[in-house]
Structure formats: structure tokens, C-alpha cells
Structure 1
Amino acid sequence: MANLPDGRLVSWSAFLAEGFVPTPGNYTVSAVFNPITGEFFDSNNSAHDMFCAGVTLLEDGTVLATGGNSTVRYSSRFNLDTLQWESTAPMNSPRWYGTNVTLGNGKVFSTFAQGAEEFGEMYDPVTDSWVNLPGTDMRTLSVEQAGVNARSNDMGTGQWYAYMHVTPDGKVYHPGPTETMHLFTTEGQGDVEQLGPTPLDRKHIQYGTSTNFSPGKLLVTGGEDLTYIPNGATNEAMIVDLTTAKPTARKIDSMHRTRAFHNAVVMANGEIIIIGGNGNGILFNDEDTRLDSEIFNPDTETWRLAQPISVPRNYHSVALLMKDARVISAGGGLCGEGCYVNHLDAQIYTPGYLLNQDGSLADRPEITELPDAANPGEDIQLQTDHEVSRFTMIRLAGTTHGINTDQRFMDIEFSANDNGSGYTLNLEDNPNILIPGIYWVFALNSEGVPSVGAILKIKVLEQ
């Protein structure tokens, strides 16, 4: 699933609506959903089986889906004008369960995946072309993943989606799910540096989440270590600081619940909500489901339980922030027609910041004027209908299997204009922090109530 700039969402499954086929079918069931009207319409891809593809959003907000089922090299973009999928240049290697990450220059680094060569490749959306980066050696990841897959356990085969994040100096950091952390360079032929094991007790944290919740800061949560006896999910969490000379990771207080297959979403106020997952870590299984949500406060580094979901959201579930600052949690299953863990529905969470103490909807500020686009480091003018005390921005995102390399949250420095007419916002000047793409800008009043997100495109800086 992925955000569209106007607030709609595009979702997709596989060759079938409720299941997948073992060999690529060159077709994907897809639909666009309007959360305001509740309307759907089909946007099926007739040329690419995107089951378990890599996903990321480009500078113009276009969704890029790469690889997928078994031996797929195909790549597709979701056209924002026609609201249909269209083919792009195929990758050099097939990539199943691969992770994509958009870089500060607008290109996409496609990484570690089943079926791929032992290195990454990079996509240039301007030239619609792929180039191999043989220096981004991923053999350590492959060896450690193979060791996990070789273990005898009843959890199902380990999968390859890697946690990948752009660092403030333009490199790509890998904090899991394999044991050894890495730092990749994507310039020239590419390069890699091993950074040692994570500080977590369980080292192979598959089916967890990794979230960029502040410039240069990551929150890694949950998952399971298939080599660990007894099997099952963990509630461990760690924070990674990417602003140091080399990324540093430290354990923090654990979540209230053990979770695998959950989702993590940064909300308009910078807190992170954790939704769903199960405790047994078994694929296509709703037993031991975690219905309680929980919220992480990055200022205090503490957890609190939040409103529960009523439908299990486990393997293949997704969750995203929406333009109106609510959170959608959807899907799960895809194990064949009639399978009991298939959940072809969604729930929407209304955060407390949108409510008065009596539970009624709070009055919201409104952004009435904002430029369409800006460069990193630019000062922009913004108008609101009421006085506000905080501005935040969050990059629109695509997600699959709990992996979301797109979402990036930051507070915006600002000042009220002397003439009493609006505000001047001072945008972050580092394009490796303010990654090119479409962002929603939120204005929050003194009570912490956010506006609906206003669209701002951050452009690739001209070299």
C-alpha cells in the first residue's frame, strides 16, 4: 500500500485477490481507495506480478514497485495522472522480498533480495535505467540469512526484506534483520562497511520494523529470531543514531507486547504507533494476535498502550498515516480463497490529538496557503486560518511486510512574520535528511491539534 498526494491510497496483492501463485503470473490485483468517500476503483497491473515486491516513492510522489514473485525483474510505476500502473525499465537482477530506498539525489538503491546478485543496483528515474553497484557487497547478509533459513523450526522460511535508511551523509545504513549491521556507499561502484552486531539480545530480528522518526534517528522494534530457542516474537527495541561518525545503536525499554508482523507509523505529532502483529511469529496465523496498539513517545522514550484493533493484522498487513492525520491499518493473510486469516478490510485509527477530552472532534487549524514545491534549505511562506505553535512534515510513504523506508518525520523551524501575515518556514538544507519527494506539512495549534496535511514537493537539488 502507498499514499497518493491527494489523500487516496493505492493497494495491491498478487496474481489473485486472496492468494498468490508459485510462479510469476505477470498480473497484479490492485485498487485505489478514497478514505473520505469509501470508494474503490480497480487499477490492476497487467504486466507485472508485484507479489512481495520492493516499494518506494519517487520525487514526484510516483510509487515504484520492483521485482516480486520468485524470478521477477520487472519494475512498475503508478501514474498519478491516469491512476494506473505502467512498466519501467526492468532491473538487472530478479529481486523477491527486496528493499528499495530513495536517496538524496532522487535515485533508488535496490538491495538484498532473494534471487539477486550479491550486490545492489540503482535506478535513475530521469533516464529510466538501472546500473549495478558491485561494490555494495551483500554476501554477509546472504550468509547470515542462509543460516537462519537452515534452522529447523516451525515458523516458516525466513524472508529477506532488509531495513535500509539514508544517513545524513548520504550513505545507506542497514540495522537488520540479519545480525551484522552495515553501511553502504552508493557513489561510483559502491562500497560497504561492516559495523558489527546489533545490541539486541535476539540478533536476527526478522518481521520487525525500522522507522525514521527524527532526522538521523531510527526506532527498531520487535520481530523474531528464527535461530532463537524457544521460537517466538520479541518485544525488544533499540534506537539508532545516524548523526554520529558511525551509526550507534542502543537498547531502550521494551514494548509492552512481543510482536512480529506488526507495522510502525509516525504520526503528525512525531509519536510512533505500533499496530498488530502476533506473538508466535508464525506466518499466516492469527493465534496469539496482538490487538492492543501501543505508542512510543520519542521525547521520553516511553511506551503506552493505545486503542486496540478489532481485526487481527499480522503477516501481509499494512498501515500508513493518512493526509487527515489519522492512521489506516489494513489487510493481512493472502493465503488462498477462504483462508481464515485473510482480512480484506481496514480500520482507521483516530489519534487522541484529534479529540477533545469528551471524545468529540477538536477544532483544527487549516493551512490556507503554501507553495507547491521547494528546495532543501529554502525559506517558504505559509498562511493559516488560526495561530499555530508548531509545524511538522512527513514524507508520503509506501509499505510492505512492515518495511517502510519512505516515512521521514521532522519538525520545521519557523517564525511568525512581523506584519502578522503568516509564517516563514526554514526548511532543512540537507537533501539526505529532507529526501526529495512529496511531503504533508501539518500545522499544530497550542493544544497539539494538527491541520489536514498540505502538499509540499521537495525537489532534487540541481548538481
Structure 2
Amino acid sequence: MHYSLSFLSVPVSSLLLLPLAVAQQNFDWGKAISRTGWNVTADSFQTGNEAAKAIDGNTSTFWHTQYGDSVAPLPHYIQVDLTKSFVVNGISYQPRQDGNRNGDIGQHTITLSNDGITWTDPVEFGNYLSDKTTKYTFFSHASARYVRITAQSEAQGAGNQWSSMAELNVYSPDTSLSGDTFAPPAPSTKGRWDATVSLPIVPAAGAISGDNTVIFWSAFRPDLFSGGTGLTETALWDPRGQAVSEKTVTDTKHDMFCPGISMDANGVIVVTGGNDAAKTSVYNPANGAWTTAAQMKQGRGYQASTTIADGRVFTIGGSWSGTRDGGKNGEIYDSPTNTWQALNGCPESVIFTKDKGGIYRKDNHAWLFAWKSNSVFHAGPSNAMNWFNVSGTGSYKSAGTRLTAPDMMCGTATMYDAVNGYILAAGGSPDYEDSTATTNAYTIKLGNVNENPKVTQVASMAFPRAFGVAVVLPDGKTLVFGGQSWADPFTDTTAALPAELYDPGTSRWTTVAPIANPRTYHSIGLLLPDATVLSGGGGLCGTGCVQNHFDAQVYSPPYLFNSDGSRATRPVIKTVSAIQLKPGSVLTVATDVAATFSLVRYGSSTHTVNTDQRRVPLSASPIGSLNYNITLPSEPGVLLPGYWMLFALNSAGVPSVATQIKVLLP
């Protein structure tokens, strides 16, 4: 990407630095670079509001684009010359502090250059929240002398042509801050964290919609979870572009913080409980609308839910919200009739951990997996495991224990091979907070319903992780990222930045590229249709809380790179015989290269839980040159109804961009 522009340049070598407490907040992963000697330029300024005001150390002054005799139209940019190249990994942008929101930056990009002529693709893009708080944006390490922010819009859809900024800082992971340093490219075996996506909310929950957009939400405020009910702040992002939009959802009178999330047989996102404990809201990707559904029998928060083989949604636990004295037994939701039924034969007491915090912590974030015959397997986080039967008023049967493992609250569990019933459980801590996280990992192999599964302890992770997130990949590996070694909500201390990949073929972990921002309490993770992984959020602790991460970042796993670090050529699914099929159907697929295939169900994520995602490896029979017949699994408890991503993988394991497949009810 190249730009040739006439800069309005102002030297600022004699200006004071802004006090550390105001705009040079330092982090373990990034330090503010000294602004001595910087030059700052912009495409436009109003006299008295020159570009130099953005680094003058005075929060009462600010850069503002022209608004006097004429108005300079968007887009606008402001850029700094650091005077020499640094390894950079972030910026902070402080909006004007005079109480006026004119010129707050909304949609924008951040680009870098070492010569001021050739510019990178955006290392960050998105939409900032319109308020006075300082925005901290971190991205993967890169070499730069010049840093440019380009504003495409004013924040929150205000519609004016202005841009403004009180203070700007640039960050470096190089603690010496000596300059003249360069960031080596990450080895292809480590994968790469790509552009950061700035959001107008802290994404404490998210899901892949049936139209392949990502819907994020926080709570009644974009930055705070506590104290409100009746509405939810949301944001939408289409991974195929850079635009991020926001919406305040008031239609359902539901604050959807700390909910259960499941996608039903038609791809409708069913969100239950949370701050408004008994509410149910549903998001229909067909029209992008939220509507109210029937209330649950029990108010809940921090519960988990899962869609079962017949399309109903089962939930259990959740004493964080509503009454905090337990009794959050199972219940089940039927979308077509919009009704909930109590399942008192599925008692929540059997899923309790031994948490020192009491009942309101013991029944949180259950690991639930739909299985054969409309059963639900409970894999944790308690050491005890269980089978739930949803017929009639429900019943349960103990499934033994996860060997001698401690309780793994806020650990991760992924079904990486649903055909053979394999689940990977990793991390977590014995207690929800003030507790030491574990590196332990186990595979759980399901067999017949009501039989104890086979549990095997496998190699441990390199990093202890409570509040981490796991995402299953098309090749069957599981990516685990985020978390911290000491479970301490609303902190980023002891955060694990490197991600890890578990390979079921070797039962081993590989440490891969580090993420730019810590992802701890209230972070999420989702597999995207292009086989990349989205990681976002953390915090939701109020105005000025630096643990609020208003962003997400996209990871390209190692399978998307050649050995020399260049991007691998991806196979292409050219045609499919159908995009809506029942279990047991035969699907014919044409590709451009010899391929194997897998299905991964669309995911949803909050508080370490993603019960929607699972992977189904597929057996394909060649029927001529680059054409295949694939017989889908006939068991609806394996191939759940709803939307799935069909991937083709070439002989090197490189996945295609997914083709959407809807699995129908039997």
C-alpha cells in the first residue's frame, strides 16, 4: 500500500511529555516511547488546534481538523515520525477532554512505515467508542519509524467531517527503547497474529452468525457489567471487511451479560439469563433482529447450555445471577413452540465443584456436550462427570471422575473429534478466583450413553491458564490462548501471551505466536469461516479500567503458511451438491486439488465456554478427478442440527475457506 501526500508538518522537539499517569500508562507488554524530538503531521488542522497539540503534554489542548472558513472532508490522518525505527506494538489515543465529542474518531485504521513512503496494510482497524477515555490499541510486533492513524468517520455515527485528538502515544515491547531495532518475522511454525480489530464495546460474549458476521456484546454499558438491566450494547463485524457497527439492543429488555449461549437448528442464537436472570433473547441472522423469547423457569447467570440432537436447548447451573442459594436444576427450551420445561431429575448439585466461594461459584460454566439418543454429557469443570437424560422430567447418571484431576473451573473443553467422541479438557483452577491455575490436560473418549468414558492424562500445557479460551481447528488440533496463572478477575497480571496448539496425533503441545493483548477474565475465542481464529475482550470493569480490552485480534495458524513464511496456496471448494442436508446424507464435493474434509460447527463464546463448536472429521470417496462423495454421520447426536463450516484440506493440511452447510433435523 503506497501513499503520496503533502504533509502539514510541525516540529515538536521542545514540547513537554504528558505525565505518565495521564497518557503514558505502561504495561508489562508495552512501554510508551519517549516523544522527545518527534515530528507530527496531519492532512488538516484548524489554527490553534495544530497537529503538535496531540503530543504537547497538555490534556486541555487538542488537534482538530479544519472547521473555520471551510470544513476539510473525511478521511483524515495524523501521523508521527519517531525519528528512528523501533519495534512498535501499540498506540494510545486520548480524545479531547473538554466535554465536547466533536471529532471523536470512529472507523479508522493504523498503518506503519519505515520510510514515510511505503505503508503497511493496517495493523489495526475498527471503530472506537465515543467517550473521553483513552483508547489503548495493541497489535503484533512490527518495525516502524512512522505511525499513522487514518479516520474514516466520526464516532457513533455522528455524521460530521471532523477528527480530533488530545494526546497520542506509541508503545514498544523493547524495554530499552533504544530505537533502530527491527521485528523479525515470526517463524511459519508459530503462525501469526494479524490485524487488531478495535470495537466500541468490550466483547465479553460473541457468536458467528448464520450470515458469517460476528456479533459481539458486553452488558448494559460497553465497558461495565454491574449495576444495570434492560439493555445490551452490541457490535457487528464482517470478517471480510474492516467496518465495525454498533447497536444498543433495548427491544428485549434483557441485559445479556454472563449468559448461556446456544445456536438452535435454524442458526438462531439463543441467549439465556445473565444480569436479567430469567430472560431469553434470540438473534435471527435472517433479519439481524433481536426478539424476546419465553422466560426460563429459573433465573440464571454463568450457566452453560447446549443444543441437543433433536434441536432443543438444555441448560443447567448458573447461581451467579437470580437467587444465589442453588436449585438451578436442568431445564430445556423448544424453539418451535417457544417453551421451557423444568427437568428436576437433572439436579445441579451433581455438577458442583468444591469452590471455596460457595454455591454461586460451584455451578458455573459447565462443560456440556450433546451426544447420542438426546443425551448430554457433563465433562466438568468439576472432577465429577455425569450423563443427563432429558426425557420426561429428566434423569442423570454418574460418569465417574476425570482421574485424580482437581476441579478445573474456568478451564477449557473442546470436542475435537465428534465421530469418535473425543474431548480435550485443559487448564482451569480449583476455585474461581484467588486460585492457582493448572497446566493439566486430559482427553475424554465418549462411548455408549451412560457408560463411563475413557479418560487419559496427556502432556501438560507450557502455561497455566485460568480464564483461557480454546478453539478447535479444521485439522483437528486445538488452539488454546489467553488466561493467567493466578485466577484473579479484572486483572492482567500473570497473563499468558503465547498461545499453544494441541495435536491429538502426537498428544503434545506446541507453543506458538504470542497475542498482542492479554486475554483473561471476560475474553472470547471463535473459529472464523476462513480458518483463522478470533480472540477478543477481557475486562468490563468500568470507565478508565486499563484491563478493559475494546478489541479482538485474528490469528492465522501455522497451516496457512509455507516453510519460508509466505502465505500458503489454499485449496478451493468449487461446488457442493447441496447446502442443506440431514444426517446420513451423501454430499458430493468438487475441489481444485486432492483433499480431505471436515465440518466444524459455528461457535459461540463467553466466560471460557463454547458448547456450540465441535469438529466432525469426514470420510470421502473419490468419484473421478477431484470429485468426492462424502457420507455424513447418521447419528444426530454427533452431527447436531444447525450451521456448520465445511473445510477441504490439501495434502499439506492447508484448509480452504469454508462453505456453509446447514444440517437439518432428522
TM-score range, shorter chain: over 0.9
Structure 1 residue 330 displacement after superposition: 0.5
| Residue number among 407, 411, 415 corresponding to 2:613 in the alignment | 407
Structure 1 residue 158 displacement after superposition: 6.1
Letter in 2 for 1:395: R
- Tell me if 1:214 matches 2:424: no
Match of 1:110, SS state, is strand
- The share of aligned pairs that are identical, in percent, is 33
Larger radius of gyration: 2
CA deviations on 1:103-156 (whole Å, 9 max, x unpaired) are: 0001000111114634211100111111111211222335x45x53149xxxx9
C-alpha separation between the residues in 2 aligned to 1:157 and 1:194? 21
| Residue number among 426, 435, 460 corresponding to 2:665 in the alignment | 460
- Tell me if 1:382 matches 2:589: yes
The answer on whether the counterparts of 1:381 and 1:425 sit within 8 Å (CA) in structure 2 is: yes
What residue number does 1:48 align with? 254
Match of 2:534, SS state, is strand
4+ aligned runs moved over 4 Å, structure 1: 156-159
What residue number does 2:184 align with? none
The answer on whether the counterparts of 1:43 and 1:84 sit within 8 Å (CA) in structure 2 is: no
CA deviations on 1:34-76 (whole Å, 9 max, x unpaired) are: 122121122432121101010011112111100001x521111
| Residue number among 256, 280, 301 corresponding to 1:96 in the alignment | 301
The answer on whether the counterparts of 1:266 and 1:407 sit within 8 Å (CA) in structure 2 is: yes
What residue number does 2:351 align with? 141
C-alpha separation between the residues in 2 aligned to 1:79 and 1:18? 25
Structure 1 residue 201 displacement after superposition: 3.6
Letter in 2 for 1:123: Y
Q: Which has the higher contact order (CA 8 A, sep 6+)?
A: 1
C-alpha separation between the residues in 2 aligned to 1:51 and 1:206? 19
Letter in 1 for 2:221: L
CA deviations on 1:305-356 (whole Å, 9 max, x unpaired) are: 0111110000000011100000011110001111111100111111111111
- Tell me if 1:317 matches 2:527: no
- Tell me if 1:81 matches 2:286: yes
- Tell me if 1:189 matches 2:189: no
Structure 1 residue 169 displacement after superposition: 4.2
Residues 150 and 139 of structure 1: CA distance in aligned 2, closer, same or farther (over 3 Å): closer
Letter in 2 for 1:84: A
What residue number does 1:430 align with? 635
What residue number does 2:270 align with? 64
The answer on whether the counterparts of 1:111 and 1:121 sit within 8 Å (CA) in structure 2 is: yes
The answer on whether the counterparts of 2:267 and 2:284 sit within 8 Å (CA) in structure 1 is: no
The answer on whether the counterparts of 1:43 and 1:83 sit within 8 Å (CA) in structure 2 is: no
Aligned residues, how many? 449
CA deviations on 1:418-440 (whole Å, 9 max, x unpaired) are: 4x362111101100000111000
Match of 1:6, SS state, is coil
The answer on whether the counterparts of 2:309 and 2:371 sit within 8 Å (CA) in structure 1 is: no
Letter in 2 for 1:212: M
Structure 1 residue 382 displacement after superposition: 1.4
C-alpha separation between the residues in 1 aligned to 2:268 and 2:586? 25
C-alpha separation between the residues in 2 aligned to 1:442 and 1:389? 9
Letter in 2 for 1:125: S
C-alpha separation between the residues in 2 aligned to 1:201 and 1:141? 15
The answer on whether the counterparts of 2:316 and 2:328 sit within 8 Å (CA) in structure 1 is: no
What residue number does 2:113 align with? none
Match of 2:245, SS state, is strand
| Residue number among 384, 406, 425 corresponding to 1:180 in the alignment | 384
- Tell me if 1:223 matches 2:428: yes
C-alpha separation between the residues in 2 aligned to 1:429 and 1:356? 37
| Residue number among 363, 366, 373 corresponding to 2:580 in the alignment | 373
What residue number does 1:12 align with? 217
Residues 121 and 227 of structure 1: CA distance in aligned 2, closer, same or farther (over 3 Å): closer
The answer on whether the counterparts of 1:99 and 1:111 sit within 8 Å (CA) in structure 2 is: yes
The answer on whether the counterparts of 1:79 and 1:85 sit within 8 Å (CA) in structure 2 is: yes
Match of 1:382, SS state, is strand
| Residue number among 526, 529, 548 corresponding to 1:342 in the alignment | 548
Letter in 2 for 1:132: A
What residue number does 1:272 align with? 478
The answer on whether the counterparts of 1:208 and 1:260 sit within 8 Å (CA) in structure 2 is: yes
The answer on whether the counterparts of 1:99 and 1:163 sit within 8 Å (CA) in structure 2 is: yes
The answer on whether the counterparts of 2:309 and 2:373 sit within 8 Å (CA) in structure 1 is: no
Letter in 2 for 1:313: R
Match of 2:249, SS state, is coil
What residue number does 1:120 align with? 330
Letter in 1 for 2:383: E
Residues 304 and 435 of structure 1: CA distance in aligned 2, closer, same or farther (over 3 Å): same
The answer on whether the counterparts of 2:308 and 2:371 sit within 8 Å (CA) in structure 1 is: no
The answer on whether the counterparts of 2:211 and 2:285 sit within 8 Å (CA) in structure 1 is: no
Structure 1 residue 376 displacement after superposition: 0.4
The answer on whether the counterparts of 2:409 and 2:432 sit within 8 Å (CA) in structure 1 is: no
What residue number does 1:233 align with? 437
What residue number does 2:55 align with? none
C-alpha separation between the residues in 2 aligned to 1:198 and 1:448? 32
Gaps in structure 1 of 5+ consecutive residues: none
C-alpha separation between the residues in 2 aligned to 1:53 and 1:438? 21
In the TM superposition, what are the counterparts of 1:241-252 in structure 2 within 5 Å? 241-244=445-448, 245-252=451-458
Letter in 2 for 1:126: P
Match of 1:29, SS state, is strand
What residue number does 1:327 align with? 533
Gaps in structure 2 of 5+ consecutive residues: 1-205
The answer on whether the counterparts of 2:233 and 2:249 sit within 8 Å (CA) in structure 1 is: yes
What residue number does 2:31 align with? none
C-alpha separation between the residues in 2 aligned to 1:448 and 1:118? 44
C-alpha separation between the residues in 2 aligned to 1:185 and 1:247? 16
C-alpha separation between the residues in 1 aligned to 2:223 and 2:362? 22
Structure 1 residue 21 displacement after superposition: 2.5
Match of 2:372, SS state, is coil
The answer on whether the counterparts of 2:383 and 2:405 sit within 8 Å (CA) in structure 1 is: no
The answer on whether the counterparts of 1:200 and 1:251 sit within 8 Å (CA) in structure 2 is: no
